[in-house]
Amino acid sequence: MTTPDPLQLACPQCNAINRVPAAKVGDAPACGRCRSRLFPGAPFVLGAAGFDAHAQRSDLPLLVDFWAPWCGPCRTMAPAYAQAAALLEPRVRLAKVDTEAEPALGARFAIRSIPTLALFLRGRELARQAGALPLQAIVQWTRQHLPS
C-alpha cells in the first residue's frame, strides 16, 4: 500500500483531520485540536457524525465492528476485538458502530447480521465478514484484506 506523506488521520475523539508524517505514526501522535491520542490502543466509538472523516478522508484503513448491545455474539467478540487494536494499530484504525444507536449507518451499509466487520480505505469497502471471530482470526482476516 502506498501512502502519502504526511498522512491524514481523523481524531477518534473530535473527528478533526490531522496531518501526521508517515514516519511519526508509531510515535503516539496527538490530535492538534483536542490533544487526544490518535491511536488510543483500543477501538473507538464511531457515529454518523464522524464516520466519513474516518472512513473516507483518513489515509489508513479503518476496521469497523457493527454491533448491538443486546447481541450475545457481539459481546463475546468484544474483548478479542479490543485486543486486536493492540496488534493492528498503527497500520489499521479500529472502531465500533452501535447499530441500535446509529441505525442510519447500519442501513447505509446494509448490515443484515451482527456482529459484522467491515474494512474501509479512503471511502471504499475492501472486505466484510459476518459473525463473531476470535482474536487471531480478526487479525488474520484484516491483514489478509489490506492492500499491499
Active-site choice (14, 31, 34, 71):
71
> Which string of DSSP letters, residue by residue, matches 50-87?
HHHIIIII-SS-EEEEEE-TT-HHHHHHHHHHHHHHHH
Residue 74 falls in the annotated catalytic set: yes
Do residues 89 and 95 lie in contact, with contact meaning Cβ atoms separated by under 8 Å? no
List residues with catalytic annotation: 71, 74
